[in-house]
Amino acid sequence: MSADRRPADDVDEIVAAWRRERPDLDVSPLEVLSRVSRLARRLDLARGSAFSEHLLDGWAFDVLSALRRAGEPYELSPGQLVQQTLVTSGTMTNRVDRLERSGFVGRHPDPGDRRGVLVRLTPAGRDVVDSAMADLIEQEKSLLSELSAADRAQLADLLRRMLAPLETRETRETRETRETR
């Protein structure tokens, strides 16, 4: 055993408890997956604090950043936003409503389809998402400070290998058959 690499986190304790209670089970998958979940929760919290300076909530950033990434003219349909943010259409209607009231997006009729609407970033929306993104990156950089560049590359690679099969399955189901979800 390479014994004391030990910073030791909560997951070490959880795994130890399970091994004591269920010695018959191989709980080693928790070593990876439980850490992923807990780390994600921390990231959400950290993200929230990064955004609060910009008067943004996490959900708002999700929507605005999807529009920003889309590039000029920063327009997507509610349906496309639903796909990218993994929420339901009802939720997206509500989010766009609130962002519209805040002045960060506008609704415009889709010239090519009168059923449709296009959600477009306003200049104010673009400003806020750009500065929030800069802060977010800065903060995330500090979260990664424990790791060398090589570590990060390896971590990204390992995570991609876990993620890719999960997403290709969904891609085939989602992106092709229906256009929404």
Residues at the interface with DNA (CB under 7 A): 57, 59, 77-79, 86-98, 107, 110, 113-118, 177-180
Task: List the x/- string, 141-170, binding to a copy of itself by CB under 8 A.
Answer: x-xx-xx---xxxxxxxxxxxxxxxxxx--
Q: How many residues bind a copy of itself (CB under 8 A)?
A: 65
**Least CB distance to a copy of itself at residue 87 (A):** 11
Binding at 55: pick from DNA, a copy of itself, none (beta carbon under 5-8 Å per type): none
Alpha-carbon dihedral sign for residues 77, 83, 89, 91: negative
Binding to a copy of itself in span 55-74, by CB under 8 A:
68-71
Instruction: Work out whether 8 is an interface residue with a copy of itself (CB under 8 A).
Output: yes
Instruction: Work out whether 180 is an interface residue with a copy of itself (CB under 8 A).
Output: no
Q: Which contacts (CB < 8 Å, 24+ apart) does range 4-13 have?
A: 9/35, 10/38, 11/35, 11/38
Q: What is the SS3 string spanning 2-47?
A: CHHHCCCCHHHHHHHHHHHHCCCCCCCHHHHHHHHHHHHHHHHHHH
Instruction: Work out whether 5 is an interface residue with a copy of itself (CB under 8 A).
Output: yes
Pairwise CA distance, residues 175 & 50, whole Å = 32
Instruction: Work out whether 134 is an interface residue with a copy of itself (CB under 8 A).
Output: yes
**Least CB distance to a copy of itself at residue 125 (A):** 14
Pairwise CA distance, residues 53 & 67, whole Å = 20
Whether the CB-CB separation of 78 and 84 falls below 8 Å is answered with no
Q: Is 122 in a helix, a strand, or coil?
A: coil
Q: How far is CA 175 from the centre of its chain?
A: 18
What residues make contact with a copy of itself under the rule CB under 8 A? 5, 7-12, 14, 17-18, 20-22, 25-33, 35-44, 68-71, 86, 130, 133-134, 137, 140-141, 143-144, 146-147, 151-168
